[in-house]
């Protein structure tokens, strides 16, 4: 699983990047959110498995397998139902 969240470091926006496996969790902070951060960290270039993520474009461009996070699917479906007026059909 892979995700990032913004946070302030000395008043400046940085990004907390989290990468988890079934056994390990890596957390790092970088001033950039995308490819520059991935390259600086160096972990993602060696990925040989499947990354679960929210479909953000820089994640999709990584050379590995991809799976979308179900929590993201639920947020998008809730938005369609609550904000766009789409109703469920059977």
pLDDT score of 15 more than 70: yes
> What is the separation, in whole angstroms, between the first and last Cα of the chain?
32
- Is the pLDDT at 7 greater than 90? The verdict is yes
Q: What is the mean pLDDT of residues 70-86?
A: 86
Q: How confident is the model at residue 88 (pLDDT cuts 50, 70, 90)?
A: low
In a domain, 88, yes or no: no
Q: What pTM was computed for the model? A: 0.74
89 within some domain: no
Q: Note whether residue 67 is domain-resident.
A: yes
pLDDT above 90 covers a percentage of the chain that reads: 37
Which residue range forms the structural domain that includes residue 56?
Answer: 2-82
pLDDT number for residue 17: 93
| Total domains in the fold of the chain | 1
Nearest CA among 39, 67, 74, 73 for reference residue 53? 67
**The predicted structure's pLDDT at residue 90:** 57
């Amino acid at each position: 699983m892979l995700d990032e969240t913004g946070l302030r470091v000395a008043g400046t926006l940085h990004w907390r990047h989290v990468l988890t496996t079934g056994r390990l969790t890596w957390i790092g902070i970088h001033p950039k959110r995308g490819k520059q951060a991935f390259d600086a960290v160096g972990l993602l270039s060696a990925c040989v498995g499947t990354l679960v993520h929210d479909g953000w474009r820089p994640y999709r461009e990584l050379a590995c397998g991809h799976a979308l996070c179900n929590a993201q699917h639920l947020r998008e479906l809730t938005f369609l139902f609550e904000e766009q007026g789409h109703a469920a059909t059977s």
